[in-house]
Amino acid sequence: MAEDKKEREITEEIPEEEVDPENDPEKREDALKKATEDDSPAAAEEKQAEEKPEEKEKSRLFRNNRAEKAEKELKAKEEQVAQLTDRLQRQMAEFDNYRKRTDKEKAAQFDMGARDVILKLLPVVDSFERGLQGLSDEQKAEPFAAGMDKVYKQMLKLLDDLEVKPIEALGKPFDANLHYAVMHEEAEDAGENIVTAELQKGYTCKGTVIRYSMVKVAN
**pLDDT attached to residue 34:** 55
Number of domains in the chain: 2
Rounded to two decimals, what is the model's pTM? 0.54
Domain limits at 187? Answer: 165-219
Is residue 218 within 8 A of residue 187, CB to CB? The reply is: yes
CA dihedral 116, 121, 123, 127 (to 10 degrees): 180
Task: From 142, 162, 182, give the residue that closes a domain.
Answer: 162
Shared-domain flag, residues 87 and 107 = yes
Shared-domain flag, residues 207 and 176 = yes
Q: Does residue 3 or residue 94 have the better pLDDT?
A: 94
Whether residue 26 lies inside any domain: the answer is no
- For residues 91-107, give the mean pLDDT: 89
Shared-domain flag, residues 135 and 189 = no
Q: What confidence tens digit (pLDDT) does each residue in 101-149 have?
A: 888 888 878 778 888 889 999 999 999 999 998 888 888 889 999 999 9
CB atoms within 10 A of CB 156: 15
Q: What confidence tens digit (pLDDT) does each residue in 193-216 have?
A: 899 999 999 999 988 899 999 999
Shared-domain flag, residues 158 and 169 = no
Whether residue 191 lies inside any domain: the answer is yes
